[in-house]
């Protein structure tokens, strides 16, 4: 497989759409210069973390997959992107919050033995996991880059938690939340040029947004509207106004990786996708 099939998927937990539009200057630089595309995604509900991790990685709605709240701690019963990449002979890796391990590798998570997982028989073949919401994003991106360099994955999933953590602490209408979004954008400005030079495709999105009470889970635009940025030669650059259902993300990932989606994923209907 040629290197331009490889994909890095960055999921910024709790990043609402309008805050990303106002504060992520580097990502919008890529959009303005014709190097990236930008979309608005409407999340599934409930707009909670664990259910939407499952939505993003399996392309199935909560009523089907059964992950309907943050309190359901068990392995997924669905076929995730991790399962599909492994089945198709690709290598995968993730630097993520421990709930991702509980969905696809082992539940419940044991911090003393499950932080680093390298097992080619598991759905997630190479993983570094954290379990505290304030685990620094700087460390997380270093973990991810370690996995990229040492395991050369075709699919690398990165799950950042600090935006969500500061949203809960300070609310979405706060300098703390907005400044954390700027900090993530600055980190991306530091590391993405190297990854783009290595010919990776890039997806950046969120699970859910954040409201002005410092919470999420409901049906408002603040809860459900999240950004999607894509850098790929398979997507025409530009700003797209059509709202994208979150269930389209998993089949899009499959298309970018050039693998067949699972039978239960939606048919891909994505503006800007080249033939």
pTM above 0.95, yes or no: yes
- The values of phi and psi at residue 41, to 5°, are -105, 140
Q: What is the SS3 assignment for 240?
A: strand
Q: Which whole-number Å values give the CA distances from 264 to 52, 182, 274, in the listed order?
A: 16, 37, 23
3-state secondary structure of 176: helix
Per-position pLDDT tens, the chain of length 275: 344 699 999 999 999 999 999 999 999 999 999 999 999 999 999 999 999 999 999 999 999 999 999 999 999 999 999 999 999 999 999 999 999 999 999 999 999 999 999 999 999 999 999 999 999 999 999 999 999 999 999 999 999 999 999 999 999 999 999 999 999 999 999 999 999 999 999 999 999 999 999 999 999 999 999 999 999 999 999 999 999 999 999 999 999 999 999 999 999 999 999 98
CA triple 255-160-121, angle to 5 deg: 60
CATH of domain 3-257: 3.40.720.10
What's the pLDDT score for residue 15? Answer: 99
Nearest Cα residue to 95 out of 65, 118, 72: 118
Cβ contacts of 160 within 8 Å, gap of 6 or more: 10, 11, 12, 13, 137, 140, 141, 184
Alpha carbons within 13 angstroms on the beta-carbon side of residue 70 total 8
> Is beta strand 126-130 parallel, antiparallel or unpaired with respect to 37-42?
unpaired
What are the structure tokens assigned to 40, written together?
A: 């608005």
Question: Cα dist. 164→74, 114, 275 in Å?
Answer: 23, 23, 36
pLDDT digits (tens, 9 = 90+) for 99-111: 999 999 999 999 9
The answer to whether residues 52 and 224 touch, using CB atoms and an 8 Å cutoff, is no
């Amino acid at each position: 497989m040629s290197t331009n099939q490889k994909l890095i998927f960055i999921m910024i937990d709790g990043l609402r759409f309008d805050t990303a539009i106002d504060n992520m200057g580097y990502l919008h630089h890529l959009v303005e210069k014709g190097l990236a595309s930008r979309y608005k995604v409407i999340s599934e509900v409930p707009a909670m973390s664990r259910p939407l991790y499952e939505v993003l990685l399996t392309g199935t709605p909560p009523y089907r997959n059964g992950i309907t709240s943050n309190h359901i701690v068990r392995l997924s019963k669905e076929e995730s992107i991790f399962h599909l990449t492994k089945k198709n002979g690709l290598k995968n890796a993730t630097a993520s919050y421990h709930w991702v391990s509980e969905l696809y590798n082992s539940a419940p998570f044991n911090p003393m033995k499950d932080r680093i997982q390298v097992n080619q028989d598991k759905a997630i073949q190479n993983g570094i996991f954290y379990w505290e919401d304030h685990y620094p994003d700087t460390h997380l991106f270093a973990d991810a880059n370690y996995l990229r360099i040492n395991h050369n994955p075709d699919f690398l999933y990165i799950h950042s938690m600090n935006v969500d953590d500061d949203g809960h602490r300070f609310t979405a209408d706060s300098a703390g939340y907005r400044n954390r979004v700027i900090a993530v954008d600055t980190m991306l400005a530091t590391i993405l040029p190297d990854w783009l030079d290595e010919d990776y495709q890039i997806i950046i999105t969120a699970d859910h947004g954040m409201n002005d009470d410092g919470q999420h889970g409901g049906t408002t635009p603040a809860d459900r509207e999240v950004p999607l940025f894509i850098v790929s030669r398979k997507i025409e650059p530009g700003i797209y106004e059509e709202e994208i259902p979150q269930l389209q993300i998993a089949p899009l990932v499959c298309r970018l990786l050039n693998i067949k989606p699972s039978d239960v994923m939606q048919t891909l209907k994505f503006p800007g996708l080249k033939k």
